[in-house]
Structure 1
Amino acid sequence: MPTHHVDRRTLLAGAAIGAGALITPGPALARSGDLAALERAVMAGRDDSIRRIQEWIRTPAIAAENRDMQKGADYMAALARDAGFTDVEIVPTDGHPGVFGVLDSGAKRTLGIYFMYDVKQYDATEWSSPPIEARLVDKPGFGKAIVGRGAVNQKGPQATFLAALHAFRKAGRKLPVNLVLVAEGEEEIGSPNFRQIVTKPHILAALKRCEGIFLPASWQNSQGAVDVNLGAKGIIELELIASGEKWGRGPKKDVHSSLKAMVDSPSWRLVQALQTLVTPDGNTPAIDGWFDTVRPLSAREKALIAENAAHDSEADMKQGLGVPAWIDDLPFARALERLASQPTVNIEGLVAGYTGPGGKTVLPARAVAKIDMRLVPNQTRADCEAKLRAHLDKRGFTDIEAKVSGGYDPTETAEDSRLIRAELATYARQGVKATLNPRLAGSWPGAVFTSAPVSLPAGHFGIGHGAGAHAPDEYLVIDSTNPKVAGLEKATMAYIDFLYELAAIK
């Protein structure tokens, strides 16, 4: 149902000049005298900003399908140059390339920026709006939004940050911090080669000058609140494969199912192996030694989780997820503790034999389980991969292949780092309720930055709203009708204020 559209540029143009209409500026931005010029530039660049998001969505690079990856890297490099980055280069890896660039404004401090240019796969038949057309649609309760794969994860927020850089150029103002950009095209397959990019000597040297690294995000909920994550779980993505050929039993190609009476089944072989990985309820990893290095939650982390549980709506979360209860019928606070503290072994998909309509009486020669394992401090990818292999071998499953496609360690960032304090100060100034969260249950390759040799704080920042990452009808709000949620222009100005805050914070 169409919503009434207000011409925001006309509405804001008169109020913005000298009045800080889009945001409440921090002291550093206010003292700079740049606010009015930057706000005018943000509003003047609105159409270009929308077009930038749409064109990026229309240029999909999907690592899982090896689809247009060089084109995606080229497009990322062009976006960086257009936003003012210099020495932009496409960085080869053993897999898909990354992109590096710097923006030296002569400032005293430098901030690192992490981008990803790849997106998840999609099934266009599941979408109400075509996934790479990037149409503007009405989103009830939020306003006008761009719908498309990558809209919120992560092209929309990243393009909004680029809009802030374009505003500096258009306004003829220097950035208050220097920037170092590192981008990859393999985030959605577990960043298997990202460390190769970051540890190249000249890139590592540039990153070592940074105060921290951040990923632009548009994660305001319907009440306008955001989480400030002090870490994230690590991940291992893999396939477990059972085959008659590798096993030396069962068929080497699919055979008639009537032969099950005398022929072994690789599918049942895989099921038996999977059952050893978790407790009977499927909720707790049972891999030998899996919990040996797991760090329990600290008292501070437990306190933060308890505070979050007291203020969050358990009913809304259950409704949004479509679940009636938590594991073991745990109370909300305990469920949130489990979410932050527990490693997981999850089956993403099971594939064997015929999966089309109706039946097909075959005994499959090959069965595959797509698995992701979330890791918590102090687990490491290397140690967990070794433990998985040893666990399977000990139980006689030496024939089950573990084909790892990617992954990385958990990440942690200090609450008192300049990066986190600058985020909290900027959110508070904009009237955004920011909740400290000990650990994002999802994963991103922040450990590449927080661990040696880079060893920097890393996190997410941004206002605005979007949803549907990895799902149909992914979207990013452009014109917000929800007074608690930022639209495109305000989100762009918040990045500008954040840069000034980081430049000035003690």
Structure 2
Amino acid sequence: MIRFPPEVVMNKTDEAVRRARERSGEHLALLKEIVTIPSVSTDPERKADVARAAVWMNDKLVEFGANETKIIATPGHPVVWAEFRASEPDAETILLYGHYDVQPVDPVELWDTDPFTPTERDGRLYARGASDMKAQVMACLLAVRTLVESNALGMTVRFLLEGEEEIGSPNLAGAIEANADLFRAAVCLNLDSGMVGPGIPSIRYALRGLAYFDLTIRGPSRDLHSGGFGGVVHNPAQALAELIAGMHNADGSVALPGFYDRVREIDAEEHARAAAVPVSAEDLLAQSGVPALWGEKAFTPVERIGARPTLEINGIWGGYTGAGAKTVIPAEAHAKISTRLVPDQRHSDVHAQLAAYLTENAPPTVTWELRQLAGGEAFICDPNSSYHKRFAAALTSVWNREPVFSRNGGSVPVAADLEQILGMPSVLSGFALPDDRVHSPNESQDIATWYQGIEAVIRFLAAESA
């Protein structure tokens, strides 16, 4: 750990950084406390736990010195709001975004330790939500607390903490519209994007959108004996597999009609930015564990991840899946399907495109039902804004290297919501690493990187920045 020599006269920002370093153990204990709450937003049985996480966040904001807090009810899980007012009345206002909900832990048997019992191992903290994104939320809370205690907060800071990001933020836009004055700010700092690699600070200037669907294929009125009906009844599981196989072309592109009609092409500047991202095919092979990469050969792997739309099968099931054998033709088969979208595509259009594909290709031997479960638009912004430059300076001061600017392949609906509803730009970053295994068993956060992240947020928000 870096320590300041006693003879150095520190400004308030350096004093706040020193204070954060001295309290690193306490900070880690607080992170461990919040990740024990199983705030799985998609699971109705965890609704009380999600509410408990919201109350925990609100209580900590009060404890850390917020001038005002509020838990805002929605038709789903609540939004937590808080405000820390700068001492200078004309200070600009910044919004800090985060989500306190987490993904399911399945398959739980693949975890090395209990997902909600935080475990330190090899410099990492293992737990569901440790990286995505409770560590990032806590980096913001702890940075603001440290600045308040050091009398060094240079901006009025508002928090927007939601509990539905992992299910597509279905109620967030409504909450923002109904409480616009509470959330209004010059810019939003959103740490839900992560770093491109260890020791490489990153700022993301684009996010992909999302359209998520549930597809059911139905055949017979009940499960049938495969010996009595095999060969005369089209198996719904087979029909589903055939339909899914046709959703991609041989070159890896998506085969839905009209899917690429609104896709924004990658210009020369974007190609250059993508080429500068220090992520190789070998890196992706190592991170994913696959024997070979796949996708549109006309684009580099970095471009495919951030600047091209995709269609993925997130789950597929039907018939008998228990131990041993049971010879049936299932009555139904199911798939969860998601698409990641790029700027100018609309998630509502994708629903119509997928329905058109099914209408054209589903055989008359089965029926189908398509439901859209979530949707959000893509986001892109100017990476040369003054706020991007300020955060870049904060990252540089901590990591001693300039950040990489790149697109992000994930979806964070709040960025587009804030832009559309409030005209608010966002700075997208974070301190998760590619090997954190987010959304997978054995998720973890690199602890040293997290400590650095707290310092970067301190320097960004401080009266004497960076």
Give the alignment's TM-score, normalised by structure 1.
Answer: 0.82
Distance 1:302 1:220 in 2: 17
Equivalent of residue 266 in structure 2, options 280, 290, 297? 297
Match of 2:191, SS?
Answer: strand
Distance 1:351 1:396, change over 3 A: closer
Question: Which deviates further from its counterpart, 383-392 or 150-159?
Answer: 383-392
Distance 1:389 1:242 in 2: 13
Distance 1:319 1:279 in 2: 26
Check the 8 A contact 1:351/1:368 in 2, yes or no.
yes
What amino acid sits opposite 1:408 in the alignment?
Answer: G
Tell me the residue number matched to 1:151: 130
Distance 1:161 1:191, change over 3 A: same
Cα offsets for 1:374-394 (capped at 9, x unmatched):
101110112222222233234
Tell me the residue number matched to 2:102: 119
Say if 2:385 is the partner of 1:417: yes
Tell me the residue number matched to 2:15: 37
Structure 1 residues without counterparts, runs of 5 or longer: 1-7, 21-29, 245-249, 481-485
Structure 2 residues without counterparts, runs of 5 or longer: none
What amino acid sits opposite 2:111 in the alignment?
Answer: W
Tell me the residue number matched to 1:235: 210
Say if 2:240 is the partner of 1:270: yes
Distance 1:280 1:42 in 2: 53
Aligned pairs for 1:359-438 within 5 A: 359-395=325-361, 399-430=367-398, 431-437=400-406
Distance 2:319 2:295 in 1: 34
Distance 2:255 2:192 in 1: 36
Q: How far 1:361 sits from its partner (Å)?
A: 0.8
Distance 1:221 1:328, change over 3 A: closer
Distance 2:210 2:279 in 1: 26
Say if 2:283 is the partner of 1:320: no
Tell me the residue number matched to 2:184: 208
Check the 8 A contact 2:215/2:334 in 1, yes or no.
yes
Tell me the residue number matched to 1:444: 412
Check the 8 A contact 2:348/2:375 in 1, yes or no.
no
Q: How far 1:433 sits from its partner (Å)?
A: 4.0
Distance 2:235 2:7 in 1: 74
Distance 1:432 1:464, change over 3 A: farther
Question: Which deviates further from its counterpart, 185-194 or 367-376?
Answer: 185-194
Distance 1:217 1:106, change over 3 A: farther
Aligned residues between the structures: 455
Q: How far 1:46 sits from its partner (Å)?
A: 2.4
What amino acid sits opposite 2:413 in the alignment?
Answer: P
RMSD: 2.7
Match of 1:336, SS?
Answer: helix
Distance 2:392 2:217 in 1: 49
Tell me the residue number matched to 1:110: 93
Tell me the residue number matched to 2:462: 500
Q: How far 1:450 sits from its partner (Å)?
A: 4.9
What amino acid sits opposite 1:375 in the alignment?
Answer: L
Distance 1:93 1:416, change over 3 A: same
Tell me the residue number matched to 1:87: 68
Equivalent of residue 198 in structure 1, options 148, 162, 176? 176
Distance 1:379 1:134, change over 3 A: same
Tell me the residue number matched to 2:164: 186
Check the 8 A contact 1:349/1:370 in 2, yes or no.
yes
Distance 1:17 1:449 in 2: 47
What amino acid sits opposite 1:432 in the alignment?
Answer: R
Distance 2:432 2:253 in 1: 35
Distance 2:296 2:194 in 1: 32
Distance 1:498 1:17 in 2: 25
Distance 1:85 1:389, change over 3 A: farther
Equivalent of residue 141 in structure 2, options 162, 174, 179? 162
Q: How far 1:112 sits from its partner (Å)?
A: 0.9
